[in-house]
Amino acid sequence: MRIQDARAVVTGGASGLGNAVARHIVSCGGRVTLLDVQEGPGLEAARELGANAGFVRCDVSSENEVNAAMQAAAERMGGLNLLVNCAGVIGAGRMLGRSGPMAGDFFAKVVQINLIGTFLCDKAAAAIMQQNTPTADGERGVLIHTASIAAFEGQIGQAAYSATKAGLVGMTLPIARELAQFGIRCVSIAPGIFRTPMVASMPPEVQESLARQIPFPARLGEPEEFARLVAAVFEIPMINGTTIRLDGAIRMQPR
Ligand SMILES: NC(=O)c1ccc[n+]([C@@H]2O[C@H](COP(=O)([O-])OP(=O)(O)OC[C@H]3O[C@@H](n4cnc5c(N)ncnc54)[C@H](O)[C@@H]3O)[C@@H](O)[C@H]2O)c1
């Protein structure tokens, strides 16, 4: 499948990595629908992208909202063959924080958005994709998860976040195996440290410390680089059931 033929839903598309993915797909001639909880920035992002982009307000942690948004997106794009899950929250916090042990509800909320939200979007998209007419290669669609290198070497304060990202890595292969019969692939990308509003929300000394730990290129990743990998995954059928690190060889230290 060529990226200009993408009919893509991008969650978290109002900001950061998701927004860069949407821009890249539209610049290549594809169509996108942004799903996000941020209505103003989402509408503005879609307006900037022009006629090949639209926005649907959707909280990915709500099954009903996801089902309705996925259906609406497929209808307005005239199909759906790519889902890029970028919606996520940073969920930082120590198990034994300054103000006491982390509340179980806080941990659960991070899981509900980052992990269960991705699963809800995956299955709603796959249910639509399985009806697609297959390409000559037998392909019907691609599901992409945005994991993180915190799935593998989470830092202090990332117990909740790392658990969700490791969950995304873990479900990639069983989903790819199950959906192989429909020609639907599932791939996770584990970014290192990228220049987005999420990273900008970290204290400057944390950002500097992380950038110093990247062997090469010794800088934060650009969201456009993430978007180009998404396009490559979409276009290369052999990439399936795996997690690709995109991280300049960083291996994060405990803090
Ligand atoms: N920036 C990085 O360095 C980095 C590294 C590794 C992984 N990631 C992952 O990449 C993804 C995108 O991160 P980003 O850096 O672009 O962050 P970001 O904060 O710029 O964008 C995240 C978007 O998700 C949306 N969102 C949050 N909760 C939502 C919900 N319940 N329903 C729908 N939308 C929701 C936000 O409104 C926002 O627009 C996240 O999953 C993040 O964990 C980012």
- CA 152 vs CA 11, 67, 87, 116, 166: distances in Å: 23, 31, 20, 19, 7
- Which atom of ligand 1 has the smallest separation from the CA of 17? 16
Q: Is residue 155 part of a domain?
A: yes
Q: What span, in angstroms and rounded, lies between the C-alpha atoms of 68 and 63? A: 9
pLDDT tier for residue 203 given thresholds of 50, 70 and 90: confident
- How confident is the model over 145-166, as a mean pLDDT? 98
Angle at 112 between CA 86 and CA 150, to 5 degrees: 55
Q: What is the CATH number of the domain that holds 22?
A: 3.40.50.720
Q: Is residue 250 part of a domain?
A: no
Q: What span, in angstroms and rounded, lies between the C-alpha atoms of 101 and 144? A: 34
Q: Is residue 249 part of a domain?
A: no
Give me ligand 1 centre to Cα 134, in Å: 31
Name 74's Cβ contacts closer than 8 Å, sequence gap at least 6: 7, 9, 80, 128
Choosing from 161, 193, 198 the residue with most ligand 1 atoms within 8 A of its CB, the one to mutate for a pocket test is 198
The reply to whether ligand 1 has any atom less than 6 angstroms from the CB of 86 is: yes
Q: Is residue 27 part of a domain?
A: yes
What pLDDT score was predicted for residue 1?
Answer: 95
What pLDDT score was predicted for residue 88?
Answer: 98
Q: How many CB atoms lie within 10 A of CB 207?
A: 16
Is a pLDDT exceeding 90 seen at residue 198?
A: no
pLDDT tier for residue 214 given thresholds of 50, 70 and 90: very high
Q: Is residue 75 part of a domain?
A: yes
- How confident is the model over 63-76, as a mean pLDDT? 98
Spot the catalytic one: 161, 194, 226, 234: 161
The reply to whether ligand 1 has any atom less than 6 angstroms from the CB of 16 is: yes
Is a pLDDT exceeding 90 seen at residue 10?
A: yes
CB 101 within 8 A of CB 144: no
- How confident is the model over 28-37, as a mean pLDDT? 98
pLDDT tier for residue 148 given thresholds of 50, 70 and 90: very high
- Number of domains the chain is built from: 1
pLDDT tier for residue 178 given thresholds of 50, 70 and 90: very high
Which of 49-53, 95-99, 211-215 bottoms out in mean pLDDT, i.e. has the lowest?
211-215
Q: Confirm whether 161 is a catalytic residue.
A: yes
Nearest CA to ligand 1 atom 17: 198
pLDDT tier for residue 212 given thresholds of 50, 70 and 90: confident
Is a pLDDT exceeding 90 seen at residue 205?
A: no
What pLDDT score was predicted for residue 151?
Answer: 98
- CA 15 vs CA 89, 100, 152: distances in Å: 12, 32, 25
Q: Is residue 252 part of a domain?
A: no
Domain housing 78: 3-244
- Which atom of ligand 1 has the smallest separation from the CA of 14? 39
Q: Is residue 255 part of a domain?
A: no
Q: Is residue 97 part of a domain?
A: yes
The reply to whether ligand 1 has any atom less than 6 angstroms from the CB of 248 is: no
User: What digits encode the pLDDT tens for the residues 217-226?
Assistant: 999 999 999 9
Give me ligand 1 centre to Cα 219, in Å: 20
The reply to whether ligand 1 has any atom less than 6 angstroms from the CB of 120 is: no
